[in-house]
Chains A and B, each alone.
Chain A
Amino acid sequence: MHGFPSDLDPAVFCGRELQLVSFTSNTVHLSFDGDASITAESTVLYQVDDTSALVQQVPPVAASALMALVGRRVCAATSNPDGSLRLQLEGGGIITCLDDSKDYESYHVRVGGQEFHV
């Protein structure tokens, strides 16, 4: 909705370990070490490894293998002009949060006490 914030450097996620994946009826929450988290209200794409399929999930999520990425560290993080945030994790894992709506917020990033709404 708002696009990726220009004052947020996606590289802030690099080296952080995905520690918690939690779901609510309308969000997917990804917690990283060092007080960083992402709360997605919209589409999340993930891939467990190089050989697995790219899986799309939109809350409410009924079943997921996103937990398979818990414990892996982010080795690369990039943002795109379309507002999406892509995290590349160890072992070929990928998490991409899409900003796919102009009408509603798609995800929220919280790093070091700061909050960004996309």
Chain B
Amino acid sequence: MPFHVSFFRRALALCALALALTLPGPGLAQSPSASTQPTLPPHYAAQVLSPIQRATFLHRSAFGSLCSLAPLACALIDRPFALNAKLELFVRPKAPDGSTSLLLPFALSVPILGRAEVGVGSCFAMAWASSEKSAPASSSVAPTPTGLCPMWVAAKGVLFPFFRDPHRHPALAAEYLLEYQAGPFVGLNQLGLPGPMSKMSVIYRHPLGDLELSGAATVLLDHISRAGTLQIGAHAGYRVPFGEHLWIFGQAILQMPSWGPVLLDAPSGQGQQKTIDLSPPVGGTIALGAQQRADFGFGVGLTLMLTKSDIETRVDLLFRLLSFEVGPHIKPLFPPKPEPVPNINVALHTQGPSSLCPPGMRPAPPTIATPGEPQPPDAMRCVPIPPQPRQCPPGLVPAPPPSRECVMPRLAPPSPLWGHPCEFVPFDGSPHLRVGRIDRSGEYCEWDGLRLPLGAIIAPPQPGRANTAPPPPNAPQLSGGPTSPPLASGPAPSVGHARPSPRPPAPVPQPLASQPSLPTPPVQATSPAHASAASSAPAVPKTRHGGEHYDGQAASVPGSPLASGFVDRGKQAAEHVGQLARVVRDHGLGAVVPSKEDIKTWASDFKHQCLDHMKDCLERKAHEAADELNEFRKKSPDDKLYTVGGWGFDAAASAAASAVVPGAGAVFGGVVRTGEKAVGKAIGKKVIREAEESAIEHADHAVARRLLHEAEERAKKAAEKAEREAVERAAKEAEEVAKRAADANTKRPPKPTPKFEPPTNSPQLPPAEVPAGWRVRQMPPTEQYPHGYWKLEKPMKDGGWQPIDPSTMKPGTRPETHIPLPPQRPE
């Protein structure tokens, strides 16, 4: 803020200094002495109209496509680029001399990136007299307001802020407008004088939500006579809650001081010398109006302007007949107001009998009276209001209790692994390849548009099968950093990453969504591979499950969602497919898994979710492809095109992956085969890709949509068929694997405890006496307790037993309540 103030003060000081140097003398409507009068051309005085007529159109609408239909200069500039044309009508119904005047301003302007604007314009003026008085003369000898005005050129620019959005933050702007006579545009300038005129303004704008406040100081100066005036005004505008760009506004302008020479005209026949004071009138103006600002089309406005000066009091009507903008939409500048979400948590104020019950209760429903049983006339029984199922807006579901909120079912809650790195780990023990970040669901590794299911096993190409993915020019980089040998050099030494077991690691519990659970914000992958891929892409595509919408500004191919989606995703993911292909070619089988730090957590969760109901898990994952098709149908046409553009690459990528990864799947540790879904999807989307290529060639969205619709139907059938086959095959395999795993587990010793805390009590015999009701439970020897152990337990009211620490006789932790038995002495 200090910078704002100081900058604003400096600007005002500079303006005041310029004004002081320009003005012949200070004061209110002062006139210089005859000795300081400027040198005027011959017959200049004869062209000067009366003060009333000179002041006819002293106020004109401000320059700029987004300015209000009012005189005060404004700092608002459209963006990013537009051509703006406008036609207005000013009506001055009745001047004190009985004349009525019309002014038709017209202008063209070009705003540039919301920070500068240039424009040209002029106007046509008309004036006619009332029936009582004669019309103003319109001859070449005595010029009148009737006719074309001078041409004007204008420019303005935002001086401050430099980096922030000037539309949403306080802004300072400067404007310059020059009126000059050229060609047919030989009329009188804004001061009503024949000659060029300059208009300089400094404007400060302060947005406050839907309210905008601004102030401006403007100097008008006639170049020949040096007559001029200073206008200082304030503006307040409000964007009404209906309509998109409808504003109401008010302005107050003070015009003072004014200055100008007093001309001594030729003596009249009676010997009197006529004097003409060229200084504009001193006065004030109030303007009130409503306006639809130009928004890629037509804009209209109406303003009522009251002016009171030392020569007249008048009312002007300003109409914006037509304001037409050609260029990008200005909606980003003034985004439309969001639709209000109906509040369904309405508090009902009960009336009648309901109001007699205390909060949380309601009158009991009337019961059927037993015949013969007296029924008190005023008896009313209140019963607790049963809990109502929570109502949520469409698309949301109730959050788990005790929360009363509604959440998005697919987005909440995020996986605790969200944003954590994931890796491709070759089974030969060679260094792992960083392949992106785990997505919000915790089930996929998102790698710039390439979504690899966690647990997917990638195999090398089969002989005889076409490997259409040649190694990329840049060799894949391993997360081992510069010290890691290149993959092309053959199997690399291990970097401490153990060869994964065919089974998942022991399910050591780790926090899954423990309370409180804070989702880790996603961060960009920092691997060299990722960085090299990202640097070559101009725009990062949005993920499919993270709200995939076409953004015209961020698209790499503006105006073509289809091409943008294709290009954005393809550029980055193509690199990654090539990198994976190269790694599996050199090192053989590998799995896509979370990083070493997260593998245990993931494996535990994975097993917990899928091992016990393998078939359900497989079917659910397999149906994801069909769900995506369903979601696809719900998208807008542009989003469909963008998504399909991305799918187009996915199909190509999946096809390439299946070429290098025969039967590419997702069998990690023999648990589940999720990658079958990707293969099924690839089969279906391959059909879409063919249609897209055809659509891109046509570059016609209508044709593209028709082709895509046909492709979608074909793809859906193909995907369903592939899914069925995949599910059946995977389920069969999974059952066999699970059976083998179960057999192995039955022979497996108990799992090791990751953080073992030894018993706190030394080996000892159980007490001979315990409190009444308590018990000592002695257990036989185990591997950990070769002589057995015992526990002291206290009965609970709920029927359970609570372990007690015998050293304190209070509840304790497991190490405190498991007491080893000492070795038995030989008898």
Give the B-binding residues of A (Cβ under 8 A). 1-3, 20, 22, 24-27, 29, 31, 37, 39, 41-43, 45, 48-49, 51-58, 62-65, 67-68, 78, 80-84, 86, 96, 98-105, 108, 110, 117
Contacts and interface: CB of A to CB of B under 8 A. Distances in A.
B612 A3 contact: no
Interface stretch (B52-60, B173-181, B810-818): B810-818
Given A1-B782, A37-B800, A103-B818, A26 B753 contact: no
B402 interface: yes
B558 to A, nearest CB: 38
Contacts of A54: 512-513, 605, 608-609
B750 interface: yes
Given A20-B798, A48-B400, A68-B401, A104 B745 contact: no
Given A24-B811, A100-B509, A103-B753, A108 B801 contact: yes
Closest 4 A-B residue pairs measured CB to CB? Answer: A81-B745, A53-B513, A102-B750, A104-B814
Secondary structure call for the B interface: loop
24 contacts: A1-B782, A2-B782, A20-B798, A26-B802, A26-B803, A26-B811, A31-B799, A37-B798, A39-B801, A45-B512, A48-B400, A51-B397, A52-B413, A53-B517, A56-B510, A58-B509, A68-B400, A78-B612, A80-B611, A100-B509, A102-B784, A103-B784, A103-B814, A104-B818
A78 B613 CA distance: 10
Nearest to B403: A65
Contacts of B507: 82, 84, 98, 100
Contacts of B513: 53-56
Contact of A27 (B402, B746, B802): B802
Contact of A102 (B412, B511, B751): B751
Given A53-B517, A103-B814, 8 more contacts: A22-B800, A41-B803, A43-B509, A48-B401, A49-B400, A80-B745, A84-B507, A100-B508
Contacts of B490: none
B515 interface: yes
A15 B538 CA distance: 58
Chain A interface, >50% SS class:
loop
A64 B516 CA distance: 10
Given A25-B811, A65-B402, A81 B748 contact: yes
B814 to A, nearest CB: 4
Contact of B515 (A63, A96, A101): A63
A105 B818 CA distance: 8
Given A26-B812, A42-B814, A104-B814, A56 B799 contact: no
B827 to A, nearest CB: 29
Contacts of A67: 401
A100 B401 CA distance: 28
A96 B608 contact: yes
Given A52-B400, A53-B512, A80 B612 contact: yes
B697 interface: no
A96 B402 CA distance: 20
Contacts of A55: 512-515
Contacts of B749: 102
A43 B78 CA distance: 61
B750 A29 contact: no
Contacts of A3: 750
